[in-house]
Amino acid sequence: MSTKKLSIFDEPVTRRQAIKTMGVTAAAGLVGLNFPNIVLARDRMPNIIFILTDDHRWDAFSCMNHPFLKTPNLDRIANEGVMFENSFCTTSLCSPSRASFLTGQYAHTHGVKTNHTPWDEENVTFIELLKQAGYDTAFIGKWHMPGEGLPKVRGLDHFITFTSQGGQGVYQDCPLYIDGQYSERKGKYITEDLTDYALEWIEKPRKNPFCMYLSHKAAHFGFAPPRHLAGMYKGIDLHLPPEADDFIPITNYHLFVGAPAPLSFLYRRYCETVVGVDEQVGRVLNKLDQMGMAENTIIIYAGDNGHFFGEHGLYDKRLAYEESIRIPFFVRYPKLIADPGRRAQQMALNIDLAPTLMDLIGRSIPADMQGQSIVPVLRSKDAAGRKAWLYEHYPVYPIPIPGIAAVRTDTHKYITYQNNVRKPEIFDIANDPKEMLNLLGTPQGNQLHGALKNELEKVKSATGYVENWSTKI
């Protein structure tokens, strides 16, 4: 039999391939032109990897000109994608922010107001929606939302998490629940251990696209780098802010936060822990490269909230100042982003993740998602961004920080506190990015007050926010 190749549109094909193509085309003609799209849609749908870290500040990256941190792998995501330089969490606390990423909703909507209020299993997550869209789904890592036993997340094919220390986990020897089975992890460092499972999931042969939610314990308090990185920044100038001193974590209300160690020690360990994350993210990126999946995989890297390391004389988070509410938010998707390395100035929020993913896979965005898709910004640097958004915080017993409702516009911030326990504040972010001067009570502040008050009411009303500081279950 002749094996001479025929040529159709300069592509060499065998006789058998030509007959097969004609047959498929004829069949497609019979069932309508949409048939190939239906068949191929699943193949074209991108894989999704969402990597969430804990307390990772927006500026703790070498690509953010950090004075000494080296994060080449995390930088790679930013440099090959879009880095949202103005990205924020709507509540600066682990559990509420995590629930916001999953649901696309504010804390007052999804109900996880603090680290003590449980996850409502009626909440719809983007994982569930992606499963319905034909994705294989995995959640690997920190869940950290209270509830009875392990959460029952609809739509999850593979679920690895931990419950020790109230769901915070520990850096070394952290026991895991692997699809409900308890597993001792002696000798394992958690960031590496979770990444091992992530790589295993990526490698798994499958027909469907996958969505993997990789949620690290790092770089939360308890800051502990892997052994080979411990001490790498010993003796280095940490460039702590001028108002900082070593005793901040053990003075004022910080005693309630529970980090009884010198600030410089904590920050050095924090940075070393971040390098540990960078190394493990590098393993994920390398795996995608090796498997030829990097082009058709959306990688999103984010942190759940910011962290103070001495700014304003503060440690920890929760408050509405920039260091606490800013988060890293990088999106890498070569098929969509025409100008990689762009630094978008439009404001992005944690609640934007879920609607963005829906938009990226061509699904309609559920009406109860309160975030908005940032796909237009991924496509074009000129896309319009939001003008203002609501920040909310609920009191966490026994930390003496009152409830907060604030509005952040692209130039200003207006912060109000529960029962006026603290005086309201107005900051001109554009001219005073470190928020050193509360304008309220000054002629400039008084002039701004009315408009910002209206803006706050507007964002409250738009999101269905009703003042209720109670966190009772």
Do 365 and 358 contact (CB within 8 A), yes or no? Answer: yes
**Contact between 169 and another protein per CB under 8 A:** no
Token readout for 84 is: 């949202």
- With binding defined as CB under 8 A, does residue 421 bind another protein? yes
Distance CA 38, CA 121 (A): 32
- Give the contacts of 298 (CB within 8 A, at least 6 positions apart): 46, 47, 48, 49, 331, 332, 333, 357, 360
> Is residue 326 within 8 Å of 306, Cβ to Cβ?
yes
Which one of residues 25, 34, 132, 165 is an interface residue with another protein (CB under 8 A)? 165
User: Would you report the helix, strand and coil content of the chain in percent, each value rounded to 5?
Assistant: 35, 20, 45
Single out the residue of 418, 438, 444, 463 in contact with another protein (rule: CB under 8 A): 418
CB of 279 to another protein, least distance (A): 28
Question: In the bound complex, what is the minimum distance in angstroms from residue 358's beta carbon to another protein?
Answer: 33
With CB under 8 A as the rule, give the number of residues binding another protein: 30
Grouping H, G, I as helix, E, B as strand and the rest as coil, residue 383 is coil
Residue 116: how many CA atoms within 13 Å on its side-chain side?
Answer: 10
Q: Residues 225-264: x/- map of binding to another protein (CB under 8 A)?
A: -----------------xx-xxx---xxx-xx-x------
Distance in Å, CB of 368 to another protein, minimum = 25
Nearer to another protein, 250 or 294 (CB): 250
Compare residues 396 and 407 and give the one whose CB is closer to another protein: 396
Closest to another protein by CB, 125 or 471: 471
Using the rule CB under 8 A, is 148 a contact of another protein? Answer: no
> Quick check: 362 binds another protein (CB under 8 A)?
no
Contact 319, 422 (CB under 8 A): no
Whole-angstrom CA distances from 189 to 102, 183, 218, 287, 319 are 26, 14, 11, 20, 31
Which residues, 6 or more positions from 83, have their beta carbon under 8 angstroms from its beta carbon? 63, 328, 329, 330, 342, 343, 344
> Are 88 and 347 a contacting pair, CB within 8 Å?
yes
Write the binding mask 110 to 139 for another protein: x where contact by CB under 8 A, - elsewhere.
------xx----------------------
Q: Can you tell me whether residue 407 is helix, strand or coil?
A: strand
Which residue in the set 120, 402, 438, 463 belongs to the binding site for another protein (CB under 8 A)? 402
Task: Based on the shown chain and the rule CB under 8 A, indicate whether residue 400 belongs to the binding site for another protein.
Answer: yes
Q: Write down the least CB distance from residue 255 to another protein, Å.
A: 5
Taking the C-alpha atoms of residue 19 and residue 13, their distance in angstroms, rounded to an integer, is: 10
Q: Is 423 in the site for another protein (CB under 8 A)?
A: no
Residue 95 makes contact with another protein by CB under 8 A? no
Q: Which stretch binds another protein (CB under 8 A): 44-52, 92-100, 415-423, 447-455?
A: 415-423
Mask 303-322, x = binds another protein (CB under 8 A)? ----------x---------
Q: Which residues of the shown chain bind another protein in the complex (CB under 8 A)?
A: 116-117, 165-166, 242-243, 245-247, 251-253, 255-256, 258, 313, 395, 397-398, 400-403, 418-419, 421, 469, 471-473
